[in-house]
């Protein structure tokens, strides 16, 4: 039953999260907000909505280890799986001329987060610091985008595609509000089902909630990024695929972990601190050369990334890895 609850939670999160993003984009568009602003805020935050609501639900119900496992595990999955699987389908190259900024912010956020974890439990001021850096990044992005017409196209493209995909809903305010309402109601429901199912599975298997967060929950909440990245890769938009992963990893740390730590203290399990954080940093460094040097992510690289992810999952669930119990 717990497995069905977990799967149902993922389905609800994915569906209602998509509804919320589409509805919010359509509403912003009807209010005359530019696609640039929509792309930088609503779309960017929306892709991390599943991680955010799951982490908040976990922290508020005393399962903080699941919350931090979700963020760390999602960032690992985003690099090894979300970039690896699409590359097996079609090789991709990051051709974006402005990727250096995103790589720098993503690496900076990753190492800062790791440093804060080593200082002990994450408290309100840790979360406030992370979230403030997110605002700094958004403001910096605004200044660059408004000063460069090509950047306007880069940031607005995904928002404009969402508006186009929405069809008749884009012409109806009631439908737009209905999408938002379903998202607002459904996301917390999906999060509760996910956290409850994951907690029961952890107890049944005798592994920690952090281990379930690092594996099953992280994989489930990374599905929106996987679907988006496959779509970008198939359309030949390799740069957008890389940008999606870098942006998602940065938002997971600065927004998801930032907000969660401001709401509730987040202890860092020893196993996460001594192993998984280092794996997360390793994957962050691994993706940087592809983005910075415009390297081609070939099918061979994709297979290697996916195999590395499978090996990581096996290690997390192995008793000797340090995630048993708790």
Q: How far apart are CA 204 and CA 2, in angstroms?
A: 9
pLDDT of residue 116: 95
**pLDDT surpasses 70 at 186:** yes
Which tokens is 195 given? Answer: 């956290």
Strand-pairing partners, residue 117, are none
pLDDT of residue 184: 76
Angle formed by the axes of helices 99-118 and 238-251, to 10°? Answer: 30
Superfamily of domain 2-321, CATH level 4: NCX, central ion-binding region (1.20.1420.30)
Distance in Å from the first CA to the final CA of the chain: 21
3-state secondary structure of 267: coil
Q: What is the pLDDT of residues 66-78, one digit of tens each?
A: 889 889 998 999 8
* Selected residue with higher pLDDT from 41 and 89: 89
pLDDT category of residue 324 using cuts at 50, 70 and 90: low
**pLDDT surpasses 60 at 227:** yes
**pLDDT surpasses 80 at 262:** yes
**pLDDT surpasses 70 at 169:** no
pLDDT of residue 36: 56
pLDDT of residue 208: 76
* Selected residue with higher pLDDT from 326 and 93: 93
3-state secondary structure of 283: helix
pLDDT of residue 160: 63
Contact yes or no for 69/213 (Cβ under 8 A): yes
3-state secondary structure of 209: helix
pLDDT category of residue 292 using cuts at 50, 70 and 90: confident
> Which of 49-63, 74-88, 140-154, 178-192 has the largest mean confidence?
74-88
Mean pLDDT value of segment 240-251: 78
Which tokens is 260 given? Answer: 């969660």
Helix, strand, coil content of the chain in percent (nearest 5): 85, 0, 15
pLDDT category of residue 303 using cuts at 50, 70 and 90: very high
pLDDT of residue 171: 65
Domain definitions of the chain by residue range: 2-321
pLDDT of residue 93: 66
Q: Report the b/e string of 4-28 with b at 16+ CB within 10 A.
A: ebbeebbebbbebbbbbbbbbbbbb
* Selected residue with higher pLDDT from 294 and 259: 259
**pTM greater than the 0.85 cutoff:** no
pLDDT of residue 202: 73
Mean pLDDT value of segment 36-56: 70
**pLDDT surpasses 60 at 325:** no
The dihedral built from the CA positions of residue 197, 221, 112 and 129, taken in this order, carries a sign that is: negative
Lowest mean pLDDT among 29-38, 60-69, 110-119, 271-280: 29-38
Mean pLDDT of the chain: 78
Strand-pairing partners, residue 207, are 324
Mean pLDDT value of segment 141-154: 59
């Amino acid at each position: 039953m717990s497995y069905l609850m977990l799967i149902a939670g993922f389905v609800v999160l994915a569906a209602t999260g998509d509804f919320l993003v589409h509805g919010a984009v359509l509403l912003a568009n009807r209010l005359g907000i530019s696609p640039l602003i929509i792309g930088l805020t609503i779309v960017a935050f929306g892709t991390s909505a599943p991680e955010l609501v799951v982490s908040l639900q976990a922290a508020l119900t005393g399962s903080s280890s699941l919350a931090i496992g979700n963020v760390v595990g999602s960032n690992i999955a985003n690099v090894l799986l979300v970039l690896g699987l699409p590359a097996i389908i079609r090789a991709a190259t990051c051709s974006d001329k402005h990727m250096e900024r995103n790589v720098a912010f993503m690496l900076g956020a990753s190492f800062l987060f790791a440093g804060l974890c080593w200082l002990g439990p994450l408290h309100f001021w840790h979360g406030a610091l992370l979230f403030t850096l997110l605002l700094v990044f958004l403001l910096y992005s605004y200044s660059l985008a408004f000063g460069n017409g090509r950047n306007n196209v880069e940031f607005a493209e995904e928002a404009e595609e969402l508006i186009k995909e929405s069809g008749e809903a884009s012409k109806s305010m009631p439908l737009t509000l209905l999408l938002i309402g379903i998202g607002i109601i459904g996301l917390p429901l999906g999060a509760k089902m996910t956290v409850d199912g994951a907690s029961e599975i952890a107890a049944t298997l005798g592994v920690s909630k952090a281990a379930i967060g690092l594996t099953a929950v992280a994989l489930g909440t990374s599905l929106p990024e996987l679907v988006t990245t496959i779509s970008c890769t198939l359309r030949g938009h390799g740069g957008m695929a890389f940008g999606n992963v870098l942006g998602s990893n940065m938002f997971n740390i600065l927004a998801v972990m930032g907000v969660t730590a401001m709401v509730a203290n987040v202890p860092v399990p020893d196993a996460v601190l001594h192993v998984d954080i280092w794996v997360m940093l390793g994957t962050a460094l691994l993706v940087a050369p592809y983005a910075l040097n415009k390297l081609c992510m070939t099918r061979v690289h994709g297979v290697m990334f996916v195999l590395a992810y499978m090996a990581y999952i096996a290690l997390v669930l192995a008793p000797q890895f340090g995630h048993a119990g708790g």
